[in-house]
Every structure is written in C-alpha cells, then in structure tokens.
Amino acid sequence: MKSGFYVYGIFLPPGPQNLSLQGLDKEPVNMEIVDNFAVLYSMAKQERYLASRRNLLAHERVLEEAMQAGYRNLLPMQFGLVVPDWNKFSQQLIKPCHQVMNELLAKLAGNREVGIKVYWEQEAEIQALLTENPDLKAQRDNLAGRKLSMDQVIRIGQAIEEEINDRKQGIIEMFQDALNSLAIEIVENELQTEKMIYNAAYLIPWESEVKFGENVEAIDSKFEGRFRIRYNNFTAPYNFARIEKKD
C-alpha cells in the first residue's frame, strides 16, 4: 500500500521536463503542479524513511541530476518529506509560504551554493606552535617532571589555548579574505567534529565558481597539505533556501 508522495524539491513551472530519474525505493520521479509551483516527487512506499546513507544519497542524486540537466533554480526539501496528498501539501506549505518561496527563488536565480569545510590536526598544530614560539615551549618544558599547582597547570594551558585559537582564527580569516568577496551571501555553520575548524556555505553566481575554486586551490597549495579542505562545488542550495513562514 502506497503512503503518499515523497517530495524532493520545488521549481517554478513547468519544472524539469523529460527527465528519467529514479528516486527512493527505485520509484520514477515525476512532476506535479501545485499552486503555481512545480513539485518534484516520487511515490512513497513508506510513511517514514530512515536517514540511511543510501536514502540520503538517493535524495541528493535526484536534485543534482535535475540541476545538471539545466534546472538549477530550485528550493530543495529536507530529506524525509512524505505528504499524503497534494491538498494537504498546499494547505500546510505552499499557501502559507507562497510569498517567501517566490522571494527565495528570485534570490537563487543565476546563483549556486558551494561549501568549504576545513580540518586540521590540533596536536600537530600545537607542536608547530611550540617550535615557532621558543619562549612558550621553554615555559612548558620547565614544568615537565615537576609537581605543579593547579594555577600553574591552568596558566600554561591557557597560554597554549590562546595561541592555538589565534592560529585557528588566522586560518579562518585567510579563507574569508580569499572567498568572501566572491559571495552574495554566506552562512557559517556549526563545526561537526573536533578536527573541523571552519564550515561555511557560499552563495555565488554560477560563473564565479571557476575563480572561487582557483582561490581554494591556491590556499591549499600554499600550505602543502597542512590542512584538509573539503570543497563541494555542486550541491542543492539548502543553506540559502530556508523557508520561514511570514505572519
């Protein structure tokens, strides 16, 4: 028994045409016009979908293949949206958010989202810091093997932490100086792991991606693998298509 419709994203009509896409549960992907929006969907065989790697990739693949086919201006839906019928979808999302959705689509027209995640090895950075800062290293080494008071432990720990934070901020500012001027809008997201020091999404014109990518490569080359940079240059614009209902 089918449970309704699984929704991937929303376009201005007519939306993607003549695409042969396969969605979740290997169901064919179709279009439905709802209140002057084109909704990309497939039939849902489950009421709720587990956020497994396979399901998440299937969801993202549908949107990315539509974008690669030239249908770039879309509002991507978060994973797992199953609607029982189009009337409820209209009443609960389209009608209350109609104006906001049109404004978002206008903002996204001609633009794309790219993302930067930067990782480092903190222990290696601490060792490099101490090598570059003989006075701080001497302070730490002089305390080695001695019975320390809590104040001494805290003091040297704070000194190293402050220097590491300054070092981290300097790296972040280097990326910001090289990339922010190319962006129309920037979202700095939460760090996902201890090794991650920067996590940002950029909304840029489609034609600016080549320059953006070159700037990322230039930073990477300058530091010869000191950091691990994850650059995602093709993704649905989740960070810049957040729908908030207006009163």
> Where do runs of H (alpha helix) occur along 69-133?
86-89, 95-108, 122-132
Q: What is the pLDDT of residue 137?
A: 64
H/E element holding 82? strand 82-83
User: Quick check: 39 and 66 in contact, CB under 8 A?
Assistant: no
User: Quick check: 142 and 224 in contact, CB under 8 A?
Assistant: no
Q: What is the pLDDT of residue 92?
A: 92
Residue 46 CA to chain centroid, in angstroms?
27
Domain positions in the chain are: 4-109, 112-240
CA separation for the pair 46, 33 (Å, rounded): 23
Q: What is the pLDDT of residue 89?
A: 95
Task: Give the number of other CB atoms < 10 A from CB of residue 171.
Answer: 18
Q: What is the pLDDT of residue 147?
A: 53
Topology of the domain comprising 112-240: Alpha-Beta Plaits (3.30.70)
* Mean pLDDT of successive 10-residue stretches along the chain, which has 247 residues: 85 89 94 95 94 96 93 95 95 93 96 95 78 66 55 65 85 94 96 93 96 95 86 95 68
**Dihedral angle, C-alpha 9, 245, 199, 164, nearest 10 °:** -170
Q: pTM value? A: 0.84
User: Quick check: 79 and 59 in contact, CB under 8 A?
Assistant: yes
Q: What is the pLDDT of residue 208?
A: 95
